[in-house]
C-alpha cells in the first residue's frame, strides 16, 4: 500500500497534542473511540498528516463528515423527551466560556433585538414586542458537551413563530446569532423550525435571570448546550455559514442529539 506520509518524513508523535479540542469533540460525538493515532487519522482521511497544519485539516474533514451525517439523520418532527415540573433544577446551572463573576448584565430597557439577512421586516424588537407574541413552555434536559446535564423549564417565543413573523426565508440554510458577551453561534434551519426551539425569556416561569441570558437566549431541545447562545442581540437568516465561538475552536457545528 502506498504510504500517505511524504517520503522521508517522520511525523512528530506529539503532533496530535496541538489538536486535543478537535479530538475531544469527535470522541464526544462518538466518531472516535479508543484514542486516535496518526496512522488511524491517515486511514480515515487519506491525507498526509506529517505536519500540524495537515492534522488540523484532516480533523476538520472528519468533523465536517460528522456534521453531514448528523444533519441527514435529523428528524425535524421528532420531539425530545420532556419531564415533570418536579424535576426542574432551580436555579439552572451556569455555564459559559468565562466565570460567572465576569458577566456583563444587559440593560433590558435599552436592549434591542436586531434582525438581518433574508427577512422581509428588519425592524428591531423590544422586550415588550416579544412579550406580545405567543409563548410556549418546555421542560427539557440540558446536555453539556463536558458530560453534565440538568432538567430545565423554559418559556418563550417559538423561534419558528418569530421567523414567520419577520418574513424570514424558511428555505435558507442558517440562522445565526450575535450576543452581548461576544459569543456568536449559528444553527441549521431545520433545528430553528423545530417545535422545541425557543427564544427563551423566562425560566421556571420567572423572568430569565442575568446569569442565564437575560433578556433573551436560545433554548433548543435537540442540540448540545453550547449551541444555545445567551444574551442574544441579533438574529440573521442566510445561506452563508458562520462558525460559532466553540466551532472555531474545533467543536462540531451541528452538535445534534
Instruction: Tell me where in the chain the CATH 3.90.420.10 domain(s) lie.
Output: 85-249
Nearest to 103 by CA among 202, 177, 181, 218: 181
Q: Which of 80-94, 144-158, 239-253 has the lowest mean pLDDT?
A: 239-253
Q: Answer whether residue 99 shows pLDDT above 60.
A: yes
Q: Answer whether residue 34 shows pLDDT above 90.
A: no
The number of angstroms, rounded, from the C-alpha of 47 to the middle of its chain's C-alpha atoms is 28
What CATH number does the domain located at 85-249 have?
3.90.420.10
Cβ atoms within 10 A of the Cβ of 46, count?
10
* Pair 254, 188: CB distance under 8 Å: yes
User: What would the pLDDT profile of 155-194 be if each residue is shown by its tens digit?
Assistant: 999 999 999 999 999 999 999 999 999 999 999 999 999 9
* Pair 125, 113: CB distance under 8 Å: yes
Bigger pLDDT: 198 vs 46: 198
pTM of the model: 0.76
φ, ψ dihedrals at 110, nearest 5°? -90, -15
Report the 3 state secondary structure along the chain.
Answer: CCCCCCCCCCCCCCHHHHHHHHHHHHHHCCCCCCCCCHHHHHHHHCCCCCCHHHHHHHHHHHHHHHHHHHHHHCCCCCCCCCCCHHHCCCCCCCCCCCCHHHCCCCCCCCCCEEEEECCCCCCCECHHHHHCCCCEEEEEEEECCCCCEEEEEEEEEEHHHHHHHCCCCCCCCEEEEEECCCCCEEEEHHHHCCCCEEEEEEECCEECCHHHCCCCEEEECCECHHHCCCCEEEEEEECCCCCCCCHHHCCCCCCEC
pLDDT at 243: 92
Task: Please provide the size of the chain in residues.
Answer: 257
User: What would the pLDDT profile of 35-64 be if each residue is shown by its tens digit?
Assistant: 444 454 444 445 554 555 554 554 455 545
User: What would the pLDDT profile of 217-251 be if each residue is shown by its tens digit?
Assistant: 999 999 999 999 999 999 999 999 999 999 998 88
| pLDDT-based confidence at residue 72 (cuts at 50, 70, 90) | low
Amino acid at each position: 500500500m502506498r504510504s500517505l506520509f511524504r517520503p522521508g518524513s517522520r511525523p512528530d508523535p506529539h503532533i496530535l497534542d496541538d489538536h486535543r479540542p478537535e479530538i475531544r469533540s469527535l470522541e464526544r460525538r462518538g466518531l472516535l473511540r479508543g484514542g486516535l493515532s496518526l496512522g488511524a487519522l491517515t486511514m480515515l482521511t487519506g491525507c498526509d498528516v506529517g505536519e500540524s497544519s495537515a492534522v488540523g485539516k484532516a480533523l476538520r474533514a472528519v468533523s465536517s463528515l460528522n456534521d453531514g451525517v448528523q444533519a441527514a439523520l435529523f428528524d425535524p418532527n421528532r420531539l425530545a423527551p420532556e419531564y415533570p415540573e418536579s424535576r426542574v433544577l432551580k436555579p439552572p446551572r451556569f455555564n459559559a466560556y468565562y466565570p460567572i463573576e465576569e458577566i456583563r448584565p444587559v440593560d433590558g430597557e435599552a436592549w434591542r433585538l436586531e434582525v438581518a439577512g433574508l427577512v422581509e421586516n428588519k425592524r428591531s424588537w423590544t422586550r415588550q414586542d416579544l412579550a406580545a407574541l405567543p409563548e410556549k413552555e418546555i421542560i427539557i434536559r440540558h446536555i453539556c458537551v463536558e458530560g453534565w446535564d440538568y432538567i430545565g423549564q423554559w418559556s418563550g417565543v417559538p423561534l419558528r413563530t418569530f421567523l414567520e413573523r419577520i418574513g424570514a426565508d424558511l428555505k435558507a440554510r442558517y440562522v445565526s446569532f450575535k450576543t452581548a458577551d461576544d459569543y456568536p453561534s449559528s444553527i441549521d434551519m431545520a433545528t430553528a423550525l423545530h417545535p422545541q426551539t425557543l427564544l427563551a425569556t423566562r425560566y421556571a416561569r420567572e423572568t430569565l435571570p442575568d446569569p442565564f441570558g437575560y433578556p433573551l437566549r436560545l433554548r433548543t431541545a435537540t442540540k448540545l448546550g453550547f449551541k444555545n447562545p445567551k444574551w442574544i442581540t441579533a438574529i440573521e437568516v442566510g445561506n452563508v455559514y458562520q462558525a460559532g465561538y466553540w466551532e472555531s475552536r474545533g467543536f462540531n457545528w451541528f452538535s445534534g442529539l
